[in-house]
């Protein structure tokens, strides 16, 4: 494959900028709010169960998280939580939405260096407006030929995006922190994947899949190693 | 313009299926919940003010509405609302998301008749997952060449969509119930608009703009009149 023919897709949250760390700090505030009712493990387990139950209806993102957090708090306090405390949860969600975008180390430089050589797409799931706002704040938008914000990242989603942009899977490299959402479905289509693990991973993104795609799958510690992956693929 | 060259964009909520009527029923339940605290006018005015204040952060859609409704209820009851009542608001939002899709009269027939002749796009704003789910439930998805779910509908949004699909504005007709979101920005680009008023219009969609675009702007009472509009444009 000629190096210049390679199209590169990037995940956004926890690949280009910090996200799970913001959720983690929100979980800490949430546990503190409910600490006089339940231990941390119970709070975490119940919130996660609520989120999973609501996922089909709410989808991903901060607003659905906030609604699930309120519902869980009402349940865990048997209705004893005060309106003032619920307002704190609304404020917590608002703080997450208004949070500054902190780029991951190497993201800005690497994207700037690759953009002149490659067609690059941003492919992210979550809340439409929130993802658009984060991209605008990131100042990375100019590097992407297209931005695809989707409600779920599976093989069908990627197949649809590749078809829409007339990209052959064998010319496509996806870069992201989630094996389940960024790598496995793209490898299944015949594309390549560069996994950049983030130090935190939401339980829902865990996968049991053993990735086996010699010559098409790479694990890197930093986006700065992407040029080496591209060279290996060429 | 040759009739077959015309590309038709359709708004979704209150153009193809009922939406504002679902919000209206939710407002009624909301007013009833707060009736022993405040009169209807105060409840409506305060909720709308909260929604407008939160719009930039939450965007359009049911989840943002639910969060604004909870915040307003806490404010209007000076924190006296119970957790059980807040759970009712969460349930109210959930009912809206799970609501069946009721097509507007003539939508299914008209789209089926036009689809073989014209490239058709769905262009809707709101919550990504919720709009996708409603489109799936509507059984209209097969008629559309592309689906664009956007966070705001202004001239920039439409210009971007037309460019992406290589559509000349003078070959584009947008059909929708909101002058502000569906018609005015498209006319500004040089396209045509067919306004199909719905009997309810959210205050935020009201516009003072006087539409003046002879030969390019039509008001129709039902989607069944669309073929006549297309003939007039040809």
B47-85 pLDDT, tens digit each: 999 999 999 999 999 999 999 999 999 999 999 999 999
pLDDT higher than 70, residue A232 = yes
| Min Cα–Cα distance to chain B from A64, Å | 7
Locate the chain B residue with the closest alpha carbon to A63. Answer: B63
Chain B residues touching A83 at Cβ < 8 A: 73-74, 77, 79-83, 86
Banded model confidence at residue A213, pLDDT cuts 50, 70, 90: confident
B107 with B188, same domain? yes
CB spacing of B94 vs A57 below 8 angstroms: yes
A72 with A146, same domain? no
Chain A residues touching B77 at Cβ < 8 A: 83
Locate the chain A residue with the closest alpha carbon to B88. Answer: A71
Banded model confidence at residue B234, pLDDT cuts 50, 70, 90: confident
* Contact predicate B190/B158, CB 8 Å: no
Instruction: Give the whole-angstrom CA distance, residue B211 versus residue B197.
Output: 14
| Min Cα–Cα distance to chain A from B65, Å | 10
CB spacing of B90 vs A70 below 8 angstroms: yes
Identify the domain boundary among B97, B116, B137: B97
Identify the domain boundary among A98, A121, A155: A98
| Min Cα–Cα distance to chain B from A140, Å | 18
pLDDT higher than 80, residue A2 = no
A113 with A225, same domain? yes
- Positive/negative CA dihedral, A57, A58, A60, A64: negative
Instruction: Give the whole-angstrom CA distance, residue A124 versus residue B58.
Output: 18
B54 with B159, same domain? no
Q: Which of A74, A127, A128 sits opposite B86 (nearest CB)?
A: A74
Banded model confidence at residue A59, pLDDT cuts 50, 70, 90: very high
Chain B residues touching A86 at Cβ < 8 A: 70, 74, 83, 86
A144 with A219, same domain? yes
* CATH at B208: 3.40.50.1000
CB spacing of B74 vs A87 below 8 angstroms: yes
The predicted pLDDT at position A4 comes to 60
Q: Which of B66, B84, B150 sits opposite A79 (nearest CB)?
A: B84
B126 with B191, same domain? yes
CB spacing of B128 vs A127 below 8 angstroms: yes
The predicted pLDDT at position A42 comes to 97
Average pLDDT over residues A162-189: 96
Give Rg (Cα) of chain A. 19
Q: What is the pLDDT of residues B134-182, one digit of tens each?
A: 999 999 999 999 999 999 999 999 999 999 999 999 999 999 999 999 9
Among candidate residues A195, A182, A185, the one with its CA nearest the CA of residue A221: A195
pLDDT higher than 90, residue B204 = no
Domain interval for residue A87: 20-98
| Min Cα–Cα distance to chain B from A89, Å | 10
Average pLDDT over residues B111-118: 96
Average pLDDT over residues B21-42: 95
| Percent share of chain A, pLDDT over 90 | 90
Q: Which of A82, A90, A149 sits opposite B128 (nearest CB)?
A: A149
The answer to pTM > 0.90 is: yes
Q: Which of B77, B90, B129 sits opposite A59 (nearest CB)?
A: B129
* Contact predicate A47/A30, CB 8 Å: yes
CB spacing of B58 vs A97 below 8 angstroms: yes
Identify the domain boundary among A47, A66, A98: A98
DSSP B191: -
pLDDT higher than 80, residue B4 = no
Q: What is the pLDDT of residues A98-116, one digit of tens each?
A: 999 999 999 999 999 999 9
Chain B residues touching A58 at Cβ < 8 A: 63, 97, 129
B80 with B11, same domain? no
In chain B, how many domains are there?
2
Q: What is the pLDDT of residues A159-174, one digit of tens each?
A: 999 999 999 999 999 9
Average pLDDT over residues B100-115: 97
B7 with B25, same domain? no
Average pLDDT over residues A3-22: 92
Banded model confidence at residue B199, pLDDT cuts 50, 70, 90: confident
pLDDT higher than 70, residue B233 = yes
A222 with A111, same domain? yes
Residues facing B148 on adjacent strands: B123
Termini Cα distance of chain B: 5
Q: Which of A81, A86, A127 sits opposite B70 (nearest CB)?
A: A86
The predicted pLDDT at position A77 comes to 97
pLDDT higher than 80, residue A202 = yes
The predicted pLDDT at position A149 comes to 95
Q: Which of B70, B83, B132 sits opposite A80 (nearest CB)?
A: B83
Banded model confidence at residue A12, pLDDT cuts 50, 70, 90: very high
The predicted pLDDT at position A201 comes to 84
* CATH at A76: 1.10.150.240
A49 with A151, same domain? no
Locate the chain B residue with the closest alpha carbon to A74. Answer: B83
B90 with B153, same domain? no
Interface of B with A (CB under 8 A): 57-59, 63-64, 66-67, 70-71, 73-74, 77, 79-84, 86-87, 90, 93-94, 97-98, 127-130, 132, 149-151
The predicted pLDDT at position A11 comes to 98
A200 with A122, same domain? yes
Banded model confidence at residue A80, pLDDT cuts 50, 70, 90: very high
Question: Which residue of B57, B125, B156 is the best one to mutate when testing the A interface, meaning the one whose CB has the most A CBs within 10 A?
Answer: B57
Question: Which residue of A129, A132, A141, A149 is the best one to mutate when testing the B interface, meaning the one whose CB has the most B CBs within 10 A?
Answer: A129
| Percent share of chain A, pLDDT over 70 | 98
């Amino acid at each position: 494959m000629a190096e210049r023919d390679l199209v590169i897709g990037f995940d956004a949250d926890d690949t280009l900028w910090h996200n799970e760390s913001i959720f983690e700090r929100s979980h800490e505030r949430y546990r503190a709010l409910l600490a006089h009712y339940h231990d941390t493990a119970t709070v975490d387990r119940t919130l996660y169960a609520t989120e999973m139950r609501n996922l089909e209806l709410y989808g991903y993102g901060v607003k659905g998280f906030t609604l699930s957090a309120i519902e869980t708090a009402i349940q865990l306090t048997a209705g004893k939580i005060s309106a003032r405390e619920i307002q704190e949860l609304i404020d917590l969600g608002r703080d997450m939405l208004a949070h500054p975008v902190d780029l991951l180390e190497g993201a800005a430089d690497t994207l700037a260096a690759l953009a002149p050589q490659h067609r690059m797409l941003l492919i992210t799931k979550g809340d439409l407006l929130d993802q658009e706002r984060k991209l605008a704040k990131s100042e990375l938008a100019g590097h992407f030929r297209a931005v695809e914000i989707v409600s779920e990242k599976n093989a069908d989603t990627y197949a649809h995006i590749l078809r829409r942009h007339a990209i052959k899977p064998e010319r496509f490299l996806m870069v992201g922190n989630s094996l389940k959402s960024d790598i496995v479905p793209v490898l299944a289509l015949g594309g390549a994947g560069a996994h950049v693990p983030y130090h935190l991973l939401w339980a829902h993104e865990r996968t049991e899949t053993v990735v086996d795609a010699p010559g098409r799958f790479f694990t890197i510690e930093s986006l700065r190693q992407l040029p080496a992956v591209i060279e290996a693929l060429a």
